[in-house]
């Protein structure tokens, strides 16, 4: 296909495709799907080889969020029967993180529900970051705490945070239909604060909330323009007890086309398959590794994920390798530019020529996002229960109007419980 040849050439040059080209990827037929994956795979391998970065999520504070994000099980008014607990102590959070690091994760994502942190909360998270880094040399830490006030990003950076996550989630034009308690501009402001403090920006989207192709292209182009260093792609899990409980709009083929479009628009950034991969990609998860170079290991914030060992076996069986702790995730031109800008140790560069944006950075959502398929950036969203993964989920799960309570197991292990985590 001339379209795919053009997109590969542009991706190898870090050149932005046109909106029409991005829309055309989403409109390709199932007959062309393997060609689309192969083309996106050429771009992925150019910048990331066959490495897969593993990320591990620690839910520092669960439930009882005052925000009304429609996709989130921790939202105001949610009837989802999730774990609810207040802040983990630094040693508890460090112990939880250690499980993921032992499983191969090189980044730990610290998430807390709520509109945004108080200064006392930032101090608490700072102590947690220090505790994790004292025990695990070289590990990356990303914080996802919601909307930041002036000076808070700098304090997180001083404490050792490498990145901050805040998802755009959907297009600016439709954002008000999903959330009313804060705005799209609030999210942009938070990640701008993180960028200004020298933190790497992690910002992504949620697919499957009833958006149009144009909405998806809008949000991905915004992420490129705003220069998110890593882009988590969440696939909505319609969690029972939330307003979007009956929104089953995705198929494995649709998910692969969305991932490919993201890769073509943001060729040299970390594209992460986040919440919902087990439910919506199902047996086609290994195929998605040809497009994305990053996934979450183990469970998510309020739901269970695929068994950690199954993730490792999937990566190996598909011919990929887990990215080592001593390997820089992003291509040298992005990592070097960030270091030169004085940010140090982050994941990318808002200054890179032809990179994934111009440097303004966009917010990716607060911690509440990460719980209902929304994903708080690196933190991901809801996934399927382990027994419903690796292709075991029936194809009918991809569509329909009924709530599918059989596909989502509420997390009852790991952080906030006395049971061992899944990692």
- Cα–Cα–Cα angle for 173, 179, 183, rounded to 5 degrees: 65
Task: Clarify whether 142 is annotated catalytic.
Answer: yes
Q: Running DSSP on this structure, what letter comes out for residue 233?
A: E
| DSSP states of 117-151 | --HHHHHHHHHHHHHHHHHSTT-EEEEE-SSPPTT
Under the banding of pLDDT at 50, 70 and 90, the label for residue 1 is confident
What is the phi-psi region of residue 185: left when phi exceeds 0, alpha when psi lies from -120 to 50, beta otherwise? alpha
Distance CA 9, CA 267 (A): 11
Distance CA 11, CA 43 (A): 6
Q: C-alpha distances in angstroms, 240 versus 142, 169, 179?
A: 29, 20, 18
Under the banding of pLDDT at 50, 70 and 90, the label for residue 352 is very low
pLDDT tens-digit map of 284-298: 999 999 999 999 998
Beta strands in 197-247 (DSSP E): 200-202, 205-207, 230-235
Q: Name, in order, each residue with C-beta under 8 angstroms of 224's C-beta and a sequence gap of 6 or more.
A: 16, 265, 266, 356, 357
Task: Clarify whether 72 is annotated catalytic.
Answer: yes
Task: Clarify whether 65 is annotated catalytic.
Answer: yes
Catalytic residue among 14, 69, 282, 347: 69
Mean pLDDT across 75-96: 81
Task: Clarify whether 69 is annotated catalytic.
Answer: yes
pTM, two decimal places:
0.86
What is the phi-psi region of residue 118: left when phi exceeds 0, alpha when psi lies from -120 to 50, beta otherwise? beta
On the question of pLDDT at 420 being above 90, the answer is no
Q: C-alpha distances in angstroms, 103 versus 45, 292, 404, 415?
A: 24, 20, 30, 16
Catalytic residue among 187, 254, 272, 404: 272
- Give residue 379's pLDDT: 39
Distance CA 131, CA 127 (A): 6
Catalytic residue among 72, 144, 347, 356: 72
Domain 2-407 top-level CATH class: alpha beta
Catalytic residue among 107, 109, 347, 356: 109
265 or 70, greater pLDDT? 265
Helices (H), 197-305: 213-225, 252-265, 277-280, 285-288
Instruction: Write down the domain spans for the chain.
Output: 2-407
Task: Clarify whether 144 is annotated catalytic.
Answer: no
Mean pLDDT across 348-362: 37
Mean pLDDT across 370-375: 38
Identify which of 341, 345, 305 has the alpha carbon closest to the alpha carbon of residue 325: 345
Task: Quickly tell me which residue has 């050792």 as its tokens.
Answer: 160
- Give residue 380's pLDDT: 39
On the question of pLDDT at 369 being above 50, the answer is no
Q: Name, in order, each residue with C-beta under 8 angstroms of 34's C-beta and a sequence gap of 6 or more.
A: none
323-360 burial by CB neighbour count: b if 16+ within 10 A, else e? beeeeebbbebbbebbeeeebebbbbbbbbeebbbebe
Under the banding of pLDDT at 50, 70 and 90, the label for residue 372 is very low
272, containing H or E segment: strand 270-273
Catalytic residue among 44, 75, 124, 142: 142
Catalytic residue among 44, 65, 334, 379: 65
Task: Clarify whether 376 is annotated catalytic.
Answer: no
Structure tokens at 73: 């099980």
Distance CA 378, CA 166 (A): 9
Under the banding of pLDDT at 50, 70 and 90, the label for residue 346 is very low
Under the banding of pLDDT at 50, 70 and 90, the label for residue 311 is very high
- Cα–Cα–Cα angle for 107, 266, 378, rounded to 5 degrees: 25
β-bridge mates for residue 206, sequence order = 234
Q: Running DSSP on this structure, what letter comes out for residue 416?
A: T
Identify which of 125, 130, 194, 120 has the alpha carbon closest to the alpha carbon of residue 163: 194
- Give residue 142's pLDDT: 97
Distance CA 383, CA 144 (A): 18
Task: Clarify whether 356 is annotated catalytic.
Answer: no
- Give residue 412's pLDDT: 73
β-bridge mates for residue 109, sequence order = 57, 142
112 or 66, greater pLDDT? 112
Least confident stretch, 48-52, 87-91, 217-221, 337-341: 337-341
On the question of pLDDT at 415 being above 90, the answer is no
In the chain, the N- to C-terminal Cα span, in Å, equals 41
- Give residue 343's pLDDT: 43
φ, ψ (nearest 5 deg) of residue 237:
-100, 115
């Amino acid at each position: 296909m001339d379209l795919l040849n053009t997109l590969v050439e542009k991706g190898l040059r870090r050149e932005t495709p046109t909106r029409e080209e991005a829309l055309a990827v989403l409109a390709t037929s199932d007959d062309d799907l393997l060609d689309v994956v192969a083309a996106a795979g050429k771009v992925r391998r150019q910048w990331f080889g066959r490495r897969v970065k593993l990320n591990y999520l620690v839910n520092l504070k669960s439930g009882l969020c005052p925000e009304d994000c429609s996709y989130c099980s921790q939202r105001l008014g949610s009837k989802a029967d999730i774990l609810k607990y207040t802040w983990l102590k630094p040693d508890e959070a460090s112990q939880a993180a250690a499980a993921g690091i032992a499983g191969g994760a090189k980044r730990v994502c610290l998430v807390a529900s709520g509109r945004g942190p108080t200064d006392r909360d930032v101090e608490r998270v700072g102590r947690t970051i220090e505790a994790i880094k004292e025990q695990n040399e070289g590990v990356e830490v990303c914080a996802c705490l919601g909307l930041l006030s002036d000076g808070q990003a700098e304090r997180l950076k001083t404490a050792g945070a490498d990145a901050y996550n805040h998802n755009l989630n959907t297009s600016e034009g439709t954002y008000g239909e999903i959330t009313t308690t804060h705005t799209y501009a609030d999210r942009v402001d938070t990640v701008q604060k993180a960028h200004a403090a020298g933190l790497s920006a992690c910002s992504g989207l949620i697919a499957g909330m009833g958006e149009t192709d144009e909405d998806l292209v809008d949000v991905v182009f915004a992420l490129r323009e705003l220069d998110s260093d890593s882009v988590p792609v969440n696939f909505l899990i319609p969690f029972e007890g939330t307003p979007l409980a009956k929104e089953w709009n995705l198929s494995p083929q649709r998910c692969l086309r969305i991932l490919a479009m993201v890769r073509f628009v943001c060729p040299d950034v970390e594209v992460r398959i986040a919440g919902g991969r087990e439910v919506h990609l199902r047996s086609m998860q290994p195929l998605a590794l040809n497009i994305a170079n990053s996934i979450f290991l183990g469970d998510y914030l309020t739901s269970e994920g695929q068994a950690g060992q199954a993730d490792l076996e999937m990566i190996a069986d598909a011919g990929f390798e887990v990215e080592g702790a001593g390997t820089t995730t992003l291509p040298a031109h992005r990592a070097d530019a960030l270091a030169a800008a004085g940010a140090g140790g982050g994941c990318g560069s808002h200054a890179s020529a032809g990179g994934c944006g111009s440097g303004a950075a966009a917010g990716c959502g607060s911690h509440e996002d990460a719980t209902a398929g929304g994903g708080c950036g690196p933190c991901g969203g809801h996934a399927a229960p382990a027994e419903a993964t690796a292709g075991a989920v029936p194809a009918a799960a991809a569509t329909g109007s009924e709530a599918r309570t059989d596909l989502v197991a509420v997390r009852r292990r790991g952080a906030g419980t006395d049971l061992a985590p899944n990692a």
